[in-house]
Structures are given as structure tokens and as C-alpha cells.
Amino acid sequence: MKRREIFAGNWKMYKTYQDAVDLVKGLSAGVKKTDGREYAIFIPAPYLRDISSLCADTLFVTGAQNMYFENQGAFTGEISPLMVRDCGAAFILIGHSERRHIFHETDEDVNKKVRAALTHRLQPMICVGELLNERENNETLQVLERQVKGALLNIEKSDMAKISIAYEPVWAIGTGKVATPEIAEEAHISIRNIIKGLYGSDISESIPVLYGGSVKPDNIAGLYKMNNIDGVLVGGASLETKDFLPIVNVKN
């Protein structure tokens, strides 16, 4: 089955405005149109509206890196799904490990955000992944099960076409320690099996499962050729055109 493929960059809390504009211009000039591939960048909230406008005539769409689940209210410092949508984003990143581990987001928060995103026609990209000690204790499958089931609680089958999952082992994020293609593939198959148990094989075979964690120009080819890796979510290497372009343009 041909699945959606998504190549995504997560800028995290990097770039000032002019650098962000220059990066988007460089990326849009260098990305090649490849059948079936989608390109997304997760932008810091203050630049989301401008960068979304800049992306309008390019192959890239934008997303926010986080949001709160309420539409509005007295939640100082938060941004709402309505605002994210209003800024022109197509995607929303939910449950990134930095949100879970630095800002203590729970599976319940993640689930509320997924539901809010769907209500506002944003496409949730849900991040899951185990810590190093969880992998060493053979708890990877349990963690994935808890995070995937938690995120998708009460999500209707009909909404699943809008959802993608990013498998990001926490020990591989920003560490330069990439998961081998085989380790990633195994986790992706586990994620599909969990989804199969929840929604059946059509959905589990069609949902895009991305890999993230130290993806670089020199390891993308090995990851991308795996059957169950449908694209990548890239942090550090999405911040420079010279790194991100070879990733998004990797040969089929």
C-alpha cells in the first residue's frame, strides 16, 4: 500500500526572524517535487503567521510545535488551536519528548490536544518514544503502547486519516546517536500493530509513521528505505539548507 510520506523539520526554539525567512527561502528554492511526498516545517509561534504566508507558494506547509487544548481563556503564555489555525498552519506537533519530559506533559494532555487539533482541522503529528533506561529495561513496547493508546483515546476511526505518528526514541534526539534502520523499523512495526488492535489493518497500514532522532544527510537513505518508515521528523539538521535539503530530496 502506498502511504502518505511526510518530511518534516522541527525548528524548536532556534532562529530569529530574518534567519527564519532566509531559511524558508533557501529551502523552497532547493526542494524538488517528488511524487507523494509532503513537506512540513514546525515554526516557533511568533513567526508562524509570516512564515506560513511565505510558504504559500512553496511545497512546504507549516505547523506549530505545541498548543494548549482550550479555545480561549485565562491561560497566560499559551496559544490556542484557533490561533494556530488562524496563523495558517496545517499541522500541529503534539507530545514531543521535550514537551513530555521538560514541561511534564502527560498522555492525557496529549490526548486533549489531539482532540482539540481535530476539532480545528489541524493535522496532529503525535510524537512517541522511549527513554534510554526504558529501552535498556526492555520496556520500549510498553511505553509505545501507553503513549499511542493514550494519545488516541476516544479518537474516531474517521479522524485517523488526519493523524501521523513520529517515533522518536528519546535517546536519539539531539544526541547524534541515531537508531539503526532496523531498530527504527521494529518500533514502527510495533506502532502499526498497536494501531491495528485499535482500528484494524486498513488504518494501521495507511497511517504515516515517521522516524525522528539525529536524522542527518548521511543516515537518511538507510532509514528511508525501510518499509515502515514513511518520512522523518528532523530537529538539528532542519536548521540549515545544506543539511535539510539533502534529507528532503533523498532518492526514492
Binding footprint of ligand PGA on the chain (CB under 6 A)? 10, 168, 173-174, 212-215, 233-237
Of the pair 111, 214, the CB lying nearest ligand PGA is at 214
- Is 134 one of the catalytic residues? no
Least Cβ distance, residue 168 to ligand PGA (angstroms) = 6
Least Cβ distance, residue 4 to ligand PGA (angstroms) = 18
Least Cβ distance, residue 72 to ligand PGA (angstroms) = 29
DSSP state of 74: S
Least Cβ distance, residue 33 to ligand PGA (angstroms) = 24
How far is the C-alpha of 95 from the C-alpha of 149, rounded, in Å?
A: 13
- Is 105 one of the catalytic residues? no
Which of 96, 105, 130, 134 is labelled catalytic? 96
How far is the C-alpha of 197 from the C-alpha of 187, rounded, in Å?
A: 15
Alpha-carbon dihedral angle through residues 225, 110, 121, 190, given to the nearest 10 degrees: 30
CB 145 within 8 A of CB 197: no
Of the pair 86, 246, the CB lying nearest ligand PGA is at 246
How far is the C-alpha of 191 from the C-alpha of 203, rounded, in Å?
A: 12
DSSP state of 250: -
How far is the C-alpha of 49 from the C-alpha of 80, rounded, in Å?
A: 14
- DSSP per residue over 122-176, as a string? -EEEEEE---HHHHHTT-HHHHHHHHHHHHTTT--GGGGGG-EEEE--GGGTTTS
How far is the C-alpha of 178 from the C-alpha of 131, rounded, in Å?
A: 14
Chain residue at closest Cβ approach to ligand PGA: 235
How far is the C-alpha of 62 from the C-alpha of 39, rounded, in Å?
A: 9
Least Cβ distance, residue 6 to ligand PGA (angstroms) = 13
Of the pair 56, 132, the CB lying nearest ligand PGA is at 132
Which of 98, 105, 134, 168 is labelled catalytic? 168
Q: Which residues are catalytic?
A: 96, 168
